[in-house]
């Protein structure tokens, strides 16, 4: 992920990026709703460094060997909530390897130490116990990771903030950020106009929409916005 893209995301939210995906025709791939940062307000962005956990830390250490500075370790632990799979040493080593964060489809532990380390970490929550198992390592354990319903690889970028995480194909990041910035700027102007006393309903000519729908029940707000799009900001 380029330094330019990182700088651009600093002025955006994941909500903007999700809307940018829709406008750019890119599938919206959000992580499960429970994925949250250990430290409120933490953000991350970087290329995915995938790792499928089977009970041992060595898969993370190997992932660090393959990673590039700025990558984000994305751990697939199947969404398990009966064990934690990442602790303070794995996070400290990620920072030493130059990674910019960790995302876990599962749980972490050593929360106090993780906070002190300062590397952004997103997970489904915490649990004191680590894994009490050692399963066979699957093929491709470092090639892809599952996060909720999505499979991600090194060809993806992950973005995270207080709303959660989402994944965008690396090849579409610039296009998605272009759309996200345009949406952000429009929304800011609309918000300024609401604060100045012009309601969003007035801005969108909502009474016109209601009148049209009364005559034409199948008429949607999206139809209305397309029709009058040159006269309003959407």
- The rounded distance, in Å, linking the Cα atoms of 14 and 154 is 20
CATH 3.50.30.40 domain residues, the chain: 3-176
- Determine whether the annotation assigns residue 82 to a binding site: no
Per DSSP, helices labelled H in the chain are 3-9, 14-24, 58-66, 88-96, 111-117, 173-195, 200-203, 206-215, 221-228
CB hemisphere CA count around 120 (13 angstroms): 26
Q: What is the pLDDT of residues 1-40, one digit of tens each?
A: 778 888 999 999 999 999 999 999 999 999 999 999 999 9
CATH topology of domain 3-176: Glucose Oxidase; domain 1 (3.50.30)
Q: What is the pLDDT of residues 163-178, one digit of tens each?
A: 999 999 999 999 999 9
DSSP state of 126: B
- Determine whether the annotation assigns residue 89 to a binding site: yes
pLDDT at 231: 53
pLDDT at 226: 86
Q: Which residue numbers in the chain have pLDDT < 70?
A: 230-234
- Determine whether the annotation assigns residue 213 to a binding site: no
What predicted TM-score, i.e. pTM, was given to this entire model? 0.93
- Determine whether the annotation assigns residue 221 to a binding site: no
pLDDT at 209: 94
pLDDT at 179: 97
In the block, tokens 């049209």 appear at 212
CB hemisphere CA count around 145 (13 angstroms): 33
In sequence order, the 6+-apart residues with CB closer than 8 A to the CB of 222 are none
């Amino acid at each position: 992920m380029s330094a330019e893209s990182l700088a651009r995301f600093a002025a955006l939210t994941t909500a903007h990026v999700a809307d940018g995906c829709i406008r750019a025709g890119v599938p919206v791939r959000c992580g499960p709703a429970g994925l949250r940062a250990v430290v409120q307000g933490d953000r991350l962005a970087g290329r995915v460094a995938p790792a499928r956990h089977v009970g041992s830390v060595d898969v993370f250490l190997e992932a660090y060997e393959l990673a590039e500075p700025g990558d984000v370790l994305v751990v697939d632990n199947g969404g398990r909530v009966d064990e934690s799979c990442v602790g303070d040493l794995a996070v400290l080593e990620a920072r030493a390897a130059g990674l910019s964060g960790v995302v876990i489809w599962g749980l972490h532990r050593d929360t106090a130490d993780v906070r002190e380390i300062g590397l952004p970490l997103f997970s489904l929550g915490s649990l004191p116990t680590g894994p009490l198992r050692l399963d066979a390592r699957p093929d491709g354990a470092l090639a892809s990771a599952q996060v909720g319903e999505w499979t991600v690889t090194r060809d993806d970028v992950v973005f995270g903030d207080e709303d959660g995480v989402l994944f965008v194909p690396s090849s579409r990041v610039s296009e998605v950020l272009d759309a996200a910035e345009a949406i952000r700027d429009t929304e800011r102007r609309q918000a300024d106009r609401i604060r100045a006393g012009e309601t969003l309903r007035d801005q969108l000519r909502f009474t016109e929409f209601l009148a049209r729908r009364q005559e034409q029940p199948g008429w949607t707000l999206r139809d209305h916005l397309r029709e009058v799009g040159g006269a309003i900001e959407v």
